[in-house]
Amino acid sequence: IVPRNDEKATIQYEINNKKHQQEVELAILITGQKPPTIMNDLSKICAVKSDQNGFCNIRPFSSTETDIDGIFAVGEFSGPKGNPETVWEGCAVLTEMLKYLGEPNFKPDPPPKLRNLSGEKPRVGVFICSCFGKFNEKMDINSLEEKVKNLPDVTHAEIINACCTPPTMKETSEKIKNSGVNRVVLAACTPLQKLLKYQKTVMMAGLNPLLSEYVRLREDVINVHKNKDKMLIKALALIKSGVERAKRGTAAPTPSESFYPSVLIIGGGLSGLSVAADIAENGFSTTLVERSSKIGGRNE
């Protein structure tokens, strides 16, 4: 890539020993991926076939099934993938595994009983996630913790590690209960992406999630500043704002109604039939609706 003065760039590349040149306004470099050697060894052990690129071969009309019944492949084992695709495939495998495990019904845990906080003064607990220690390398979170402890109505503040992992979620919920706080502020990486996990942590402690607030340390602080002093000032300001919002939060009553879990699937194409079969095999009442006289898709 040869930069120019007119906000364009010249790309020079070679195909079959022949040189080419092209002018572009934007060039994006993406590192290619290839399966590691250990992947080939594991494929041989499991007796699953590889595709022409060396990744695990997947059956047609499936994103996870290999050539061997009961063996599934998710993520980059079957090809280059991003994090969202990997998570989706992991969830897709769950219903398939339940068939082999012989568990027809899914029984969720009953929701925890929420504490009655009427008449209580706000007592805020602030938990600062170090994101597996990565934030410690970027900013002084120990100083941040000490400054947060001096904020009005903050009765508990501490640093936790990897707040999105199940062990830390359970540990944090116990700390919330034992500390006696009735409001929670969590300063972490990407609350929008992991909001359900954070809310579950608060609910496990017997608090309504509406009494919790979340601060983005990575996107709003670490990724936009290089100076550690500026990081500390901004992080403290964001947490202080979160504390004030949490103090003013109100726990709206949660309606409780019993209902029979059932699923309505609109569309009798291949995907609709597949989903209906999976849900029905897991013990849920399933209704499939198709507007035409035949199922299978492409009837028009």
Task: Tell me what pLDDT residue 146 has.
Answer: 96
Same domain as 276, residue 236? no
Let me know if residue 6 belongs to a domain. Answer: yes
Let me know if residue 193 belongs to a domain. Answer: yes
Do 35 and 43 form a contact (C-beta atoms < 8 A)? no
Range of the domain at 267: 259-300
Find the distance separating the first CA and the last CA of the chain, reported in whole Å. 50
Do 132 and 101 form a contact (C-beta atoms < 8 A)? no
Let me know if residue 129 belongs to a domain. Answer: yes
Task: Tell me what pLDDT residue 300 has.
Answer: 57
Let me know if residue 87 belongs to a domain. Answer: yes
Same domain as 169, residue 72? no
Let me know if residue 110 belongs to a domain. Answer: no
Q: What angle do CA 165, 159, 169 make, to 5 degrees?
A: 25
Distance, in Å, from the CA atom of 223 to the CA atom of 228, rounded to the nearest integer, reads 12
Task: Tell me what pLDDT residue 175 has.
Answer: 95
Do 297 and 268 form a contact (C-beta atoms < 8 A)? yes
Count of structural domains, the chain? 4
Sheet holding 18-24, edge to edge: 2-3, 9-15, 18-24
pTM exceeds cut of 0.85: no
Split the chain (300 residues) into runs of 10 and give each run's mean pLDDT.
Answer: 81 88 84 79 87 88 88 88 84 79 65 84 95 89 96 96 89 94 92 82 92 92 92 96 93 68 89 86 88 78
DSSP-based helix, strand, coil % in the chain, nearest 5: 35, 20, 45
Task: Tell me what pLDDT residue 134 has.
Answer: 87
